[in-house]
Amino acid sequence: MASGSASTSEDRGDKRPSAETTATGPSNGAADAGGVSAAEAKDAFRRVLVVEDNEDTRTSFRQYLEMVLKVEVDTAEDGKQALEFLLQRPYSVVITDLRMPRLSGMQLIEQIQANRIPVTVIVTTGHGSVADAVKAMRMGAYDFLTKPTAPEHFHVLVERALRERSLQDELAALRAKLQGRHSFQNVVSKSQRMFEIFELIGHVADTATTVLITGETGTGKEQLARAVHQASAQARSGPFVAVNCAALPESLLESELFGHEKGSFTGAATQRVGRFQQAHGGTLFLDEVGDIPASMQIKLLRVLQERKFERVGGNSTIEVDVRVIAATNRPLDKMVKAGQFREDLYYRLDVVKIDLPPLRERTEDIPLLAAHFAHKYARPGQAPAQFAPEAMDRLLAYAWPGNIRQLENAIERASLTAREGVIRPENLPPDLTRPAAAKVGLAVDLSRPLPDQLAELTSRFEERYLRKALKRCRGHIGRCAKLSGLSRRSISNKVSQFNIDTSSYK
């Protein structure tokens, strides 16, 4: 999705009820990404495109809109130029003349519908051609104005169209949120392995079972821990408390986790409630649990077994009801064998294990996450950046050693440097263009079955092939079928499987 400069509704994931509503339908938001909030959509851009072959009228419309309505305005001399603009950047409202050279207003509306461009259309007509205006409205235009235009009428109508548009955007965002097809508690994914993880979380939600999350750096371990906590909110209403076990020296870690009594050691001026107690009724997230020192491992083991502990320097035993979620990017099983991690503690932690796959093993998530972050880092009041096909190819071919965090950083920077709302290869970090990087994806991983790894490789290759072929064939399914030696039907199936927006290759 969102793999091109055209901001169609499809690559934003909202499904339109019918072609009739297209010209006034919903827009704006990486709907598939599921992270769009109604408030964000409300602040959507206010950009108007004036399409008019008469220069005087064009200028007076532009001046009025800019000065009185304070909206951003672009102008086009005919329908053809207007269509080019509409395919390049998002607009809230188009005000178009009907009779123009090259592409008429009526043809422009047809194109807006054919390309599913989410924009509200107002048509302007000279006296005596109201019948045309009515026809345009039947085709999906929002309203019409007769020229010469009375300023008050013009003002009221454009304001109304802008309001209507932001309402549509808000509805689209809400709908996307409710559907939440590709997200679980803000964890965005459409990969089968992640769906299995979501399902597992569903099962542990109403229990207090310990969960161990493993995965490379930046794969979303903390994010997933929060998702488990949120999914459990009905059964367990206490807070989410996080402790980074690697960040504290041994002496402080004990007091951090269990608390201390006043005067129990130098500097303990007051009593302190530990993290275990703070998390009562909720979740304690033990991040980087592989870094916990040996002396603390035994103390942790006892709390996990008995859910009881004493504060440092205290005698009374405190009982808590806490779900522990531990995370690490270190290989705990190997550490156990090497005698660096207590085996009994390992088994206490490893009750339900979630192994987060690295991003290079779920490339189908790359376009989805990229769109999600483009939305997250869109400038205030502006639509999220779109991706030029070549930029998306780079994102898909890269091995992402820093996983989702690295992707997030790349898109944040690219969103800042993108011109005309489109992220191109030059906006991406230079690492991504290094050819060696692509080969890292071929690394052999003996911890997972061969057929799984082969299936992933094939699917990644297929997607890259398809994108390249579509680029060559300018998005034409038939020609792409011929080129690849597959049927049209299987090309169409793959296009939807990989969520490719063919219109962005036109």
Q: Shortest approach of ligand ATP to residue 286 CB, angstroms?
A: 12
Does 223 engage in binding with ligand ATP (CB under 6 A)?
Answer: yes
Q: Should residue 217 be labelled a site residue for ligand ATP when binding is judged by CB under 6 A?
A: yes
Q: Is the peptide bond before 148 cis (omega within 30 degrees of 0)?
A: yes
Asked whether the beta carbons of 209 and 283 are under 8 A apart, the reply is no
Q: Which x/- pattern over 353-372 shows residues binding ligand ATP (rule: CB under 6 A)?
A: ----------------x--x
Partners of 188 in the β-ladder: 183
Q: Quote the CA–CA distance of 25 and 119 in Å, as a whole number.
A: 7
Contact 366, 359 (CB under 8 A): yes
Find the binder of ligand ATP among 44, 49, 158, 187 (CB under 6 A): 187
Q: Which one of 25, 118, 218, 282 is in contact with ligand ATP (CB under 6 A)?
A: 218
d(CA 331, CA 325) in angstroms, rounded, equals: 16
Return the residue of 177, 405, 479, 482 that touches ligand ATP, per CB under 6 A: 405
Per the CB < 8 A criterion, the answer to whether 45 and 27 are in contact is no
Q: Name the closest residue to ligand ATP (Cβ).
A: 220
Let me know: does 261 contact 314? Beta carbons within 8 Å: yes
Q: How remote is the C-alpha of 439 from its chain's centroid? A: 26
CA 12 from centre of chain: 11
Q: What angle do CA 331, 332, 338 make, to 5 degrees?
A: 95
Instruction: For the segment 247-276, give every residue that binds ligand ATP (CB under 6 A).
Output: none
Q: Which is nearer to ligand ATP, 113 or 499 (CB)?
A: 499
Half-sphere exposure of 224 toward its Cβ, with a 13 Å CA cutoff? Answer: 31
The CB-of-215 to ligand ATP minimum distance in angstroms stands at: 6
| Residue number with CB closer to Mg ion (179 or 244) | 244
Q: How many CA atoms lie within 13 A of 72 on its CB side?
A: 10
* SS3 state at 171: helix
Binding mask 181-220 for Mg ion (x = CB under 5 A): ----------------------------------------
Partner whose footprint covers residue 220, from Mg ion, ligand ATP, none (CB < 5 to 8 Å by kind): ligand ATP
Cα(389)–Cα(386) distance, rounded to whole angstroms?
Answer: 10
Out of 90, 220, 282, 357, point to the residue binding ligand ATP (CB under 6 A).
220
> Roughly how many angstroms between the first and final C-alpha of the chain, as a whole number?
15
Question: CB of 241: closest distance to ligand ATP in angstroms?
Answer: 16
Interface with ligand ATP includes 408 (CB under 6 A)?
A: yes
Pairing of strands 422-423, 386-387: parallel
Cα 400 to Cα 406: distance, rounded to the nearest angstrom: 7
Within 195-214, the residues that bind ligand ATP by CB under 6 A are none
User: What's the rounded Cα separation, in Å, for the pair 273 and 280?
Assistant: 11
CA dihedral for 390, 396, 401, 403, sign (positive or negative): positive
Contact string (CB under 6 A) for ligand ATP, positions 289-328, x = contact: ----------------------------------------
Q: Does 222 bind Mg ion (CB under 5 A)?
A: yes
Could you say whether residue 219 binds ligand ATP (CB under 6 A)?
Answer: yes
The stretch among 141-149, 222-230, 276-284, 302-310 that binds Mg ion (CB under 5 A) is 222-230
Q: Which stretch binds ligand ATP (CB under 6 A): 156-164, 215-223, 346-354, 467-475?
A: 215-223
Nearer to ligand ATP, 20 or 199 (CB): 199
State the nearest-atom distance from the C-beta of 287 to Mg ion, in Å.
5
Q: Which residues contact 280 (CB under 8 A, 6 or more apart)?
A: 238, 320, 321, 322
- Contact in structure between 301 and 344 (CB atoms under 8 Å): yes
Burial of 429 (0-12, 13-18, 19+ CB in 10 A): middle
215 counts as binding ligand ATP under rule CB under 6 A = yes
Q: Least distance in Å: CB of 197 to ligand ATP?
A: 10
In the complex, least distance from residue 239 CB atom to ligand ATP, rounded to whole angstroms: 18
Q: Which is nearer to ligand ATP, 310 or 431 (CB)?
A: 431
Of residues 86 and 187, the one with the C-beta less far from ligand ATP: 187
Q: Binding residues for ligand ATP, per CB under 6 A?
A: 187-189, 215, 217-223, 329, 369, 372, 404-405, 408
Q: Binding residues for Mg ion, per CB under 5 A?
A: 222
